[in-house]
Structure 1
């Protein structure tokens, strides 16, 4: 089946039966995460929503149960900005004894003022990358038990705004720029897919990075209204070329269920297709990524650094 930028998560999930499958979606109470979770629930999966806001999460789970008729949608609170919260979450999942077939690392923050996580990491790097890094590695026994699990790591075309500064990822010494920091974090989430492939493809676990597209969601909440207006973003009217949340979730769902991706790992996906490297000048167009986002040597260096930081944060 061929899909494109106009395809929705429901288009992609059509014909798939996920009955008996365990799925986890971080940031699943709103935006792209909610639409990703909706597609999984519609296909019969057990869906675990993970997020910080318990009231919002419980409301979203109840709404999905009602909308899809699937009673196996639940919410469990998770703060990716706290490694202690991640450890408690992993322990709670392990206690269920369930294998994990699909993990969508969807939650994220964007262009925030300089803030730090509980362990002192720059928040965008800490939440978007390190929190998901710790969560995924903590869930490895459950992923291995699935006998063919898929991990989906949400990246962004914003990876063009910054490579990972392996010497100062947490802005302890260099001037802070919110967009550069966001770009760094989204390069990190793409490199994470490369690292997962190098370390765990032999365990039957695949991981691909996803560019969902430009979508107006709560992700823009830290951007001043004037800046939004100056860049042509509007909460009232969708800018040309932007997607709806239903369309934005399509590539995440495709990464999670497409049969043509069986055994395919360490790729960058865009508009429900495998993207290629951009060798031209300027920003990469749709369907392309900058080479630093999938560089295997940098992925391994980031992996080693991430292990060190997460271990130090215990």
Structure 2
């Protein structure tokens, strides 16, 4: 590894602290899935630094509540809601059409589904791979011209942030059947494949757009209790060691605001100006994964340039970009 990129922040730094002293006036950011969880805290921190933040989500009632909450402390335009269903390619295209050519400075692909029963998107993809990766892949490509315009307007690179997870250790991409059409479905393997894809997307996007003014990085936010666990019964969370027998959350889990800090650092950190293709965690470049620390680090398959190119070609075909 080249000299590792770090920051003054750490594992439990609140997102507000990451943007303290940062002026995002005149900047526009889109955060997907920002109506709840770490997404709303990511949006809140950016809005408190002066950015105009677009909450791109699929539930207008939750979106409206998030906008109202963020607006209480925003310093500038605040937040607004835009409808976006990442499990529906038509919804993604409609969102991009509405956006048009307006400059965009930050795109944070935060939304996700985790460990759900076998289900399919409107376009027939397996739900986790289709929503977490393919939906964001199409969104990022359709908004790439807006990110390029944002870089020209600001005179500095725009940033794309792709939320991955330590869950990527559970699976590389299954090139023979990524959508579970012929093989048996396993929810955690599926989640791992999708999170590997999120990291590889950052590698591929940065390679293609770094010379056009856009840098992309992947982020591991950490363990946080949010609506992401909606498909996991309490007993399963206890078996995983996330929740103790008395119902309390085990040590090491972050609050949603702490969980948003690495996404926010990826969006604004001066250490990452023009830097991309990395996997970040705890407000620093992740170190290689080891068996001694199984819940931290990054495995080689999630940063492999050849796999990133292969996934890019597959994804272009799948979502109809070719």
TM-score where L is the length of structure 1? 0.95
1:277 aligns to 2:283 (yes or no): no
Cα distance in 1, alignment partners of residues 231 and 295 from structure 2: 26
Q: Do 1:149 and 1:204's aligned partners in 2 also have CA atoms closer than 8 Å? A: yes
**d(CA) in 2 for partners of 1:146, 1:259:** 17
Q: Does residue 73 of structure 1 match 2:84?
A: no
1:46-65 map, 5 Å: 46-65=52-71
The answer to whether the Cα contact below 8 Å between 1:166 and 1:305 also exists between their aligned partners in 2 is: no
Aligned to 1:268: 279
Q: Deviations over 1:49-69 (max 9, x none)?
A: 011101110111111112335
Please say if residues 157 and 211 of structure 1, whose CA atoms lie closer than 8 Å, have aligned partners that are also in contact.
Answer: yes
The aligned counterpart of 1:117 is 121
Q: Give the aligned partner of residue 91 of structure 1.
A: 97
Cα deviation per residue 1:188-215 (whole Å; 9 max; x = unaligned)? Answer: 0000011001211110110000000000
The number of residues matched between the two structures is 309
Q: In 2, are the aligned partners of 1:152 and 1:252 still within 8 Å (CA)?
A: yes
Post-superposition, which runs of at least 4 consecutive aligned residues in structure 1 deviate over 6 A? none
Find the counterpart in structure 2 of residue 107 from structure 1: 111
CA contact (8 A) 1:23 1:101 kept: yes
Q: For the residues of structure 2 that align with 1:45 and 1:67, how far apart are their CA atoms?
A: 12
Query: What secondary structure sits across from 2:73 in the alignment?
Result: helix
Query: How many Å apart are 1:237 and its aligned residue?
Result: 2.3
Residue 154 of structure 2 corresponds to residue 143 of structure 1: no
The 2-side partners of 1:113 and 1:282 are apart by: 31
In structure 1, the residue matched to 2:154 is none
Structure 2 gaps of 5+ residues are 1-6, 152-156
SS at match of 1:124: helix
Decide which of 69, 81, 88 is 1:82's aligned counterpart.
88
RMSD after superposition: 1.6
Q: Deviations over 1:33-54 (max 9, x none)?
A: 0000000000010000011101
**Contact 1:284–1:290 (CA<8 Å) still a contact in 2?**
no
Q: Are the counterparts in 2 of residues 161 and 184 from structure 1 also a CA contact under 8 Å?
A: yes
TM-score normalised by the chain length of structure 2: 0.93
Compute the displacement of 1:281 (Å): 4.0
Q: Aligned partners of 1:294, 1:127: CA distance in 2, in Å? A: 20
State the shift of 1:285 in Å: 4.6
